[in-house]
Structure 1
Amino acid sequence: MNSGAAVVLVFLVIAAVLVVGGITWGIVALVRRQAYINSVKQRGWLFVNSPAFDAVARLGNPPFGIGFERRPDDQIIGATSTGRPFQVIEYKNDHWSGWVGMVTLSRRLPELWITGGETGPRYGVLAQDVPAPPQLGPGWRVGALDVPYANAVLTAQLCQQLNALAAGQPGVNLSIDGDQVVVLDPPRKELDKLGQWLEQLGALAAVIDATPLDQWIQPEPPPRLTFYHHPEWYWIGVDDSLLEFTPVNRGGHGHRTDQVIRGRDGDGPPFIAFEHHWKTQRTESYTDSNGNSQTRTVTEHHSEPILGFQLPIRMPPLTVGRKGLSSGIEFESAEFNRRFAIFAQDPKYAYDVIHPRQMEYLMASQGAPFRIEGEWVWFSPGEHSQPAIAHCSAYLRGFLGGVPRFVWRNLGLSESPFPPLEIPAAR
């Protein structure tokens, strides 16, 4: 046998060993998984292999309520010894993946965040720090939007339950999300430990139920996919009719929408946001293995974010962008002229809208470029994401609040539809 054949033989043997090893490992993993599922069922719990999104639809605080990709996976459902419903579920979004355990409360309550040990704040949480009660001991952090509410929840009895839950665990990352007490990283691999942990979590929930918190009861949310701190946003998914009037790229073929969202923030203008996908084809030349020149058709896939806000009245064209090759209209501020390019058919209208205070706002806010076309304001957000939409929404609301009242009156409205906001510019 020559050396080349020997090398090939060795390679084939190694490949065969790897294939057999992979198959063996797959069989072992499958057997272990089935044994785990059987153990779950023996406890009287239910194991769901591919739960519907309804399993987490009522949850709106991180890790839920964040991003556009939200995927629940394996789920365990049951009740504690006192009959309190629980679920332990695998969950993944754009920014986090892992397991979550939760038990049900008797009331829907505002968000509350409690962490201790080897853990940290969850991605996207918007809350202020609240001093942790001394009964908790060192290393605990508390976050809430309503400090009196947080103080009312954190009774001595709850602190005792939190310390009991933390015993033997590297850390505790707990929150109240509506009518659920939610904890990250439950000990789900060992069912005996998981059962004890769920009983502890149920006892903790019982303490919260027994605490007088009725003044903070929250209303039932609408039955739809929610967005954290954006209660008026709602998920559409696909709506290709939007392609008929939105400023999408018209080239190519196979145009479609994805991740369509509608909504508004407070008294700001309503918006539509989605990702536009399309394809183009081109012909390229190449040399085949025989040295002959050939041609082939290559399909390229494209996408772009689309974000538009609908105004209550048609407004003259106006573009607010970053300084580029075109200088645009000159304003009295040299710094503003250096950083911004403003375009309008009527310079006087631009001066009326972009007054000195408006210039200060635009320079401080660092917002994305936008253009006003009739009843719509179209942004170039750079990406289709929850933070990008939220930032553009706040940025535009501040801008519209700075449009003088006489401009709105000249357009046919008796008053400004967007009163000035006495808040710092969004950053």
Structure 2
Amino acid sequence: MLAVSVPRWLHAWAGLQVGFAVFIGFAVLFGWLIARVGGPWVDRAQARLAREQAGAERYGWRPGTDADGQLHAAGCRIFAPDGQLRRILVGEYQGRRIRMAEFVHTTRGRYLPTTWVNHLVAIELPVRLPELAIGPASVVGDGAVVEPGTSRVEVESEDFNRRFRVVGADDRYALAMLHPRMMEWLLARPPVNLRVSGNLVVAFAAKPWTVPQALAALPVLSGVVDLIPPFVLADYGRQVR
């Protein structure tokens, strides 16, 4: 029997082909497992989200517009400067005009872009007030980015300082807003990220909008609006155009 000598390069090439085939096989198997296991979970999550986004009309919330651009401006300040609103709803809560929407923006990852869906729920004010951000310390954190021209504000309540972070451009205005009754109200409620932006008091979160989230945020927002001192509206407010 004749011995056949196989060149080393052919051995290496065959090894590469086998390795590539094994890799492709594992990739196909992994994709199949993900589809079989993850697919139903994604379907259930999407179905649950659809249920929680349904029924807005029962509360008098109807499709509308952000005519003056204030909700979009708030979303740009909070999340990203190049995002867009979708699913805009308007209505009333305890006699005050409200508006809410999802705020969608895209970030460029190393390999693929990622789309983020956030939400905004807002009550309108009769005047425009300076910017003021109030958020739970556990969410905002000590390393949170502070916008140019703004700074952290410390209030007299150590309990409030531990549980919340306040950022604004005017300490006197921030302290006038965060009087003892306002701080007591916020401390007694579930923590919500809030921002006074233009003529809106906005609650926001980095998740899609749902009816239960809006129903949870609106009482907190309404209480905050009730507790804004009249002199703050008169001294710091600017006319809504």
TM-score of the two chains, using structure 2 as the length reference: 0.64
**Shift in alpha-carbon separation, 1:154–1:100, aligned structure 2, 3 A:** same
The superposition leaves residues 67-116 of structure 1 with CA deviations (integer Å, 9 ceiling, x where unpaired) of 65221123343322x12222332213466752222211121111112222
Matched with 1:310 is: none
1:182 aligns with 2:202: yes
1:88 to 93, 100, 116: 100
| Kept after mapping to 2: 8 A contact 1:187/1:193 | no
* Structure 1 residue matching 2:54: 3-state secondary structure: helix
The superposition leaves residues 336-387 of structure 1 with CA deviations (integer Å, 9 ceiling, x where unpaired) of xxxxxxxxxxxxxxxxxxxxxxxxxxxxxxxxxxxxxxxxxxxxxxxxxxxx
| Kept after mapping to 1: 8 A contact 2:134/2:193 | yes
Q: How many equivalent pairs are there?
A: 201
**Shift in alpha-carbon separation, 1:137–1:123, aligned structure 2, 3 A:** closer
**Shift in alpha-carbon separation, 1:62–1:31, aligned structure 2, 3 A:** closer
Displaced runs of 4+ in structure 1, greater than 4 A? 24-34, 65-68, 94-97, 121-124, 186-190
Following the alignment from structure 2 to structure 1, what is the Cα–Cα distance between the partners of residues 206 and 229? 22
| Kept after mapping to 2: 8 A contact 1:88/1:100 | yes
The superposition leaves residues 265-287 of structure 1 with CA deviations (integer Å, 9 ceiling, x where unpaired) of xxxxxxxxxxxxxxxxxxxxxxx
Matched with 1:42 is: 58
Matches within 5 A, 1:193-204: 194-204=214-224
Following the alignment from structure 1 to structure 2, what is the Cα–Cα distance between the partners of residues 133 and 164? 17
Matches within 5 A, 1:250-269: none
Matched with 2:147 is: 125
Amino acid at match of 1:57: G
Matched with 2:92 is: 79
**Shift in alpha-carbon separation, 1:131–1:68, aligned structure 2, 3 A:** closer
Matched with 1:284 is: none
Matched with 1:349 is: none
TM-score of the two chains, using structure 1 as the length reference: 0.39
**Shift in alpha-carbon separation, 1:101–1:209, aligned structure 2, 3 A:** farther
Following the alignment from structure 1 to structure 2, what is the Cα–Cα distance between the partners of residues 66 and 187? 12
**Shift in alpha-carbon separation, 1:196–1:111, aligned structure 2, 3 A:** same
**Shift in alpha-carbon separation, 1:195–1:68, aligned structure 2, 3 A:** closer
Matched with 2:19 is: none
Matches within 5 A, 1:321-360: none
Following the alignment from structure 1 to structure 2, what is the Cα–Cα distance between the partners of residues 153 and 26? 43
Matched with 1:358 is: none
Superposition deviation, residue 146 in structure 1: 1.6
Matched with 1:69 is: 82
1:145 aligns with 2:169: yes
Higher relative contact order structure (alpha carbons within 8 Å, sequence separation ≥ 6) = 2
- Rg comparison, structure with higher value: 1
Following the alignment from structure 1 to structure 2, what is the Cα–Cα distance between the partners of residues 205 and 135? 23
Matched with 1:155 is: 179
5+ residue gaps, structure 2: 1-24, 108-115
Following the alignment from structure 1 to structure 2, what is the Cα–Cα distance between the partners of residues 115 and 30? 28
| Kept after mapping to 1: 8 A contact 2:194/2:202 | yes
Amino acid at match of 1:174: L
**Shift in alpha-carbon separation, 1:108–1:68, aligned structure 2, 3 A:** closer
Following the alignment from structure 1 to structure 2, what is the Cα–Cα distance between the partners of residues 217 and 175? 15
Matched with 2:12 is: none
| Kept after mapping to 2: 8 A contact 1:136/1:160 | no
Following the alignment from structure 1 to structure 2, what is the Cα–Cα distance between the partners of residues 208 and 189? 26
Matched with 2:6 is: none
5+ residue gaps, structure 1: 1-7, 222-427
| Kept after mapping to 1: 8 A contact 2:83/2:104 | yes
Following the alignment from structure 1 to structure 2, what is the Cα–Cα distance between the partners of residues 138 and 68? 29
| Kept after mapping to 2: 8 A contact 1:63/1:123 | no
Following the alignment from structure 1 to structure 2, what is the Cα–Cα distance between the partners of residues 151 and 195? 28
**Shift in alpha-carbon separation, 1:135–1:89, aligned structure 2, 3 A:** farther
1:134 aligns with 2:157: yes
The superposition leaves residues 217-256 of structure 1 with CA deviations (integer Å, 9 ceiling, x where unpaired) of 23557xxxxxxxxxxxxxxxxxxxxxxxxxxxxxxxxxxx
| Kept after mapping to 1: 8 A contact 2:118/2:207 | no
Q: Of Structure 1 and Structure 2, which has the larger fraction of its residues in helix? A: 2
Following the alignment from structure 1 to structure 2, what is the Cα–Cα distance between the partners of residues 84 and 135? 33
The superposition leaves residues 300-348 of structure 1 with CA deviations (integer Å, 9 ceiling, x where unpaired) of xxxxxxxxxxxxxxxxxxxxxxxxxxxxxxxxxxxxxxxxxxxxxxxxx
